[in-house]
Structures are given as C-alpha cells and as structure tokens.
Amino acid sequence: MRSTVAAILRKDLRLELRTFEAIPSMTLFSLTTFVLFHFGLNETSVEGDLAAGVLWVTLLFAAILGLNRLFVAEEEQGGFDGFLLAPVDRTAMFVAKATGLFLFLALVELVAVPAFTILLLGPSPWAILPELILVLALGNAGIAVVGTLVAGIAVRTRARDLIGPLITLPLLVPVILAASQATAPLLAEGGAQALPGRWVAVLGIYDLIFGLVAYGVFDFLLED
C-alpha cells in the first residue's frame, strides 16, 4: 500500500512540475483575491475575526480551483483504467491524491500567507507562527480529505466543474468555521491571545471522521 501511494504521489508531483498547472494558478488566485478583499472591504489592514475570515475564505477558494485538476489527467488520459488493472489496494489512489492536495495547499500557503501578512494583516504574525501553522495544517487536512473525495465523485459526471464546488463548499463549512475561530485570537490587534483548544479539537475530529469515511467509501467510486 505505501509503495503504491508513493508511486502515485511521485507521478503526480512529477506531472505538476512538468506542466505547472495547479500550484502557480492557485497561488496567483490567492494574491488577486487579497487585492479584491482590500477593495471590496475598503480596508487597508485587518485583524482578529476579519483577518481570519479573509485568510480562510481565500485559501478555500484557491483549493476549489485546484480540486478540478486533481483527477482530470486520470479521467482524460486513461489513468483510472491503468490503475484499476494493477494488483494494488485501490484506496491507495485516495491516500495519494489527498496527500498530494495537502502538499499543493502547503506550497501555496508558503507564498500566500506571507503575502497576506504584507498586504492586509495588521498585527505581526511572527510570535504565533507555530500555532498558525498548526491550524493551517489541520484545516488543509480537512480540505484535502473532503476535496479529494468530492473531486472523485465529480470527475466522472457531466457537469464536473460545476457540481464539484457545489458539493464541497457546504461540506467544508465546519472547517472554515473552526479554522476561523481558531485563527482569530492569534491575529488579534494589541497582542495575540491563546490558541483556543476546543476549535483545534473540532478540526481534529472533523479530519478524523471524514478521513475514515472517505477511506471506507472511495473504493466504490472506482469500481464499475
């Protein structure tokens, strides 16, 4: 199982490096969205609740952008068939794709979060960086798990680009809710406050439950 996941992940990373389809566009999209928020909210600096909201909604929409690409190569170039013919555990595809999406999001955030700090964020995030990274990681995990599952459903339908986001966004409301509630105190004006443990727990539980559900259910999307 692990070697299969590694093989698929390496293949996907190599493809992304070759074609540069997902990561640059997701990153650029994030930066543009920050600019839009500046004009839309008419704010030069945000903090606390507002900052958390702007950051997470932007990351969420960037993820939606990348979701559609996740399985497109498999669907259009026969990757599903090639994989289904191999004597491997089929859930490996889910694990590999979700891990890949998680890594893509992390790479995007490597640029987007500093950009956010420069463009819009009032208070300095240096002191709370470890906590921020924790929340980002847990939020990414939730987005990766649910996003991969829904992308797997959507890619083989006719309205694939439309139905994917429609299903994903309501499912991710708890993630946005918990992640924003967890991030808001960290970005408060006048000194960061403590990381609210219960929202971190909510994120963790969400990730765990949906990780298990997706793991159990993904196989059924592949078989015919």
Partner 1 sequence: MTLYGKGLRSLSIATAVVLTGAFLLIAFYAPEDADQGIIQKIFYIHVAMAIVALCGFTAGGVMGFMHLRTHDRRWDLRSYVAIHLSLILAVGVLLTGAVWAKGSWGSWWVWDEPMLVSFLIVFLLYATYQPLRFSIEDPERQSRYASVFAVVAGAFVPINFAAVRMADSFIHPRTLGTTTGGMPGEMMLTFLVTLVGVALLFVTLWKYEMAAKHARGQVKALRRRITGERASVVGGRSAAPQVHV
Partner 2 sequence: MTAAINSIPAHPPPAAIVLEDLTRVFGERIALDEVSLTVEAGTTLVVFGPNGAGKSTLLRILATLLRPQLGTARVLGHELPREGWALRGKVGLLTHEPLLYRDLSVRENLRFHARLHGVAAGRIDEVLAATKLTDRAGDPIRALSRGLAQRAAVCRAILHDPPLLLLDEPRANLDPASVELVEPLIGRASGRTRVITSHDPRGGLAEADVALGLRGGRVELLRDAREVTVEDVGALYG
Which residues bind to partner 2, rule: CB under 8 A? 3-4, 7, 10-11, 14-15, 18-19, 73, 77-79, 81-88, 223-224
Nearer to partner 1 among residue 65 and residue 217 (C-beta): 217
Residue 38 binding partner per list partner 1, partner 2, none, with a CB distance cut-off of 5 to 8 Å that depends on partner kind? none
Q: Is 213 in the site for partner 1 (CB under 8 A)?
A: yes
The size of the interface with partner 1 (CB under 8 A), counted in residues, is: 31
Distance CA 82, CA 90 (A): 12
Nearer to partner 1 among residue 137 and residue 167 (C-beta): 167
User: Which of the ranges 12-20, 99-107, 124-132, 209-217 carries the binding residues for partner 1, by CB under 8 A?
Assistant: 209-217
Per the CB < 8 A criterion, the answer to whether 164 and 67 are in contact is yes
- State residue 46 phi and psi, 5-degree precision: -120, 155
- State residue 76 phi and psi, 5-degree precision: -85, -25
Residue 73 binding partner per list partner 2, partner 1, none, with a CB distance cut-off of 5 to 8 Å that depends on partner kind? partner 2
Interface residue with partner 1 among 177, 188, 195, 215 (CB under 8 A) is 177
Q: Is 195 in the site for partner 1 (CB under 8 A)?
A: no
Per the CB < 8 A criterion, the answer to whether 68 and 151 are in contact is yes
Number of C-beta neighbours around residue 110 at 10 A: 11
Number of C-beta neighbours around residue 216 at 10 A: 11
Per the CB < 8 A criterion, the answer to whether 128 and 193 are in contact is no
User: Three-state DSSP class for 19?
Assistant: helix
Distance CA 148, CA 98 (A): 6
User: Which of the ranges 3-11, 48-56, 130-138, 149-157 carries the binding residues for partner 1, by CB under 8 A?
Assistant: 149-157
Distance CA 1, CA 117 (A): 40
User: Which of the ranges 22-30, 53-61, 173-181, 184-192 carries the binding residues for partner 1, by CB under 8 A?
Assistant: 173-181
Q: Which residues bind partner 1 (CB under 8 A)?
A: 149, 153, 156-159, 163, 166-167, 169-171, 173-174, 177-178, 181, 198-199, 202, 205-206, 209-210, 213-214, 217, 220-221, 223-224
